[in-house]
Amino acid sequence: MLVLESVTHTYPNGVRALDDVSLTIPAGMFGLLGPNGAGKSTLMRTIATLQTPRSGTVRFGEIDVIAQPERLRETLGYLPQDFGVYPRVSAYAMLDHLAVLKGIAGRGERKATVETLLDQVNLWGARHKAIAGFSGGMRQRFGIAQALIGNPRLIIVDEPTAGLDPEERNRFLNLLAAIGENVVVILSTHIVEDVTDLCPRMAIMGMGRILAQGAPADMIAQLAGTIWARTLDRADLPAIAERHRVISTRLSGGRMVVHVVSADDPGEGFAPIAGGLEDVYFATLHPTMQPAPVAA
């Protein structure tokens, strides 16, 4: 169980990256949803012991992560949002090296670890190729392989599917889903489908704050009956936006589909729809009426 209490972090230029974040994350998949710049990566790095918050506590089991980061690192797997590679090193050699860094000492054990993981992420055929020459998807697969070394009990993956094609994305999510139940897996992403498909619990983060948390189904149920949709022309949009709380606009077949949140029937041709997680997401991010973004 990972518990964060009032974690706050301010950068030297005054930006509040994390603003009084409190979360309780049990074992299993946990989705952290939020737009770019919300503070997700900062939060991930803080939990991964790479950053120390100004105030607040982070506890994993009985480990006080801020005071004793080395204890957490012994059982941590971390896939950063953006990572590079050493030149002239093969996937096998690099994974082997990382296994050593993580504490798998014996050569036989390392061999078993490295080969199993390479097979699991389907990089076995490319194991002697230099990582520097890998495509984006192959690199991500390598990243998840290294995060799984040593059976960590806390796995953090930061924006793992950005830039992957649909097939690779599926493969990746299947891999994550196969991880055991006693492991806390935090999936930080801005792709709503990832969370919908995979996570029994989630939180929505914006501007450094946790805006909502709970089970997706519960959060969707909360909005039941308040989501309305309508198709209209682009020109009509500003008028609608003034009168209703528009949460999303999308083009479909040349015309615009608008979702609004309203406790009662807004009329004007709006029809109720069963809201999805995306609607929950947008609604949480924009709690008040705001001018809708005008598609170019």
What is the contact surface with other proteins in residues (CB under 8 A)?
Answer: 12, 45, 48-52, 70, 73-74, 76, 78-80, 82-90, 97-98, 100-106, 109, 111-113, 115-119, 124-125, 128-130, 132-133, 143, 146, 148-151
β-pairing verdict for 28-33 and 201-206: parallel
| Residue 161 phi, psi dihedral angles, 5° rounding | -100, 0
Pick from 247, 241, 251, 237: which is nearest to 281 by CA? Answer: 247
User: How many angstroms separate the CA atoms of 37 and 42, rounded?
Assistant: 9
Q: Residue 83 CB, nearest distance to other proteins (Å)?
A: 5
**Closest to other proteins by CB, 102 or 244:** 102
Q: Least distance from C-beta 262 to other proteins, angstroms?
A: 43
> CB-wise, 156 or 285, nearer to other proteins?
156
Q: Decide whether 114 or 256 has the Cβ nearer to other proteins.
A: 114
Closest distance between other proteins and the C-beta of residue 36, in Å? 18
The residue (of 80 and 216) whose beta carbon lies closer to other proteins is: 80
Comparison of 67 and 215: residue with beta carbon closer to other proteins: 67
CB of 129 to other proteins, least distance (A): 6
Query: Closest approach of Cβ 112 to other proteins, in Å?
Result: 5
**120 CB-side CA count, 13 A:** 22
DSSP 159: S
Contacts of 204 (CB under 8 A, 6+ apart): 33, 34, 210, 211, 212, 213, 280, 281, 284, 285
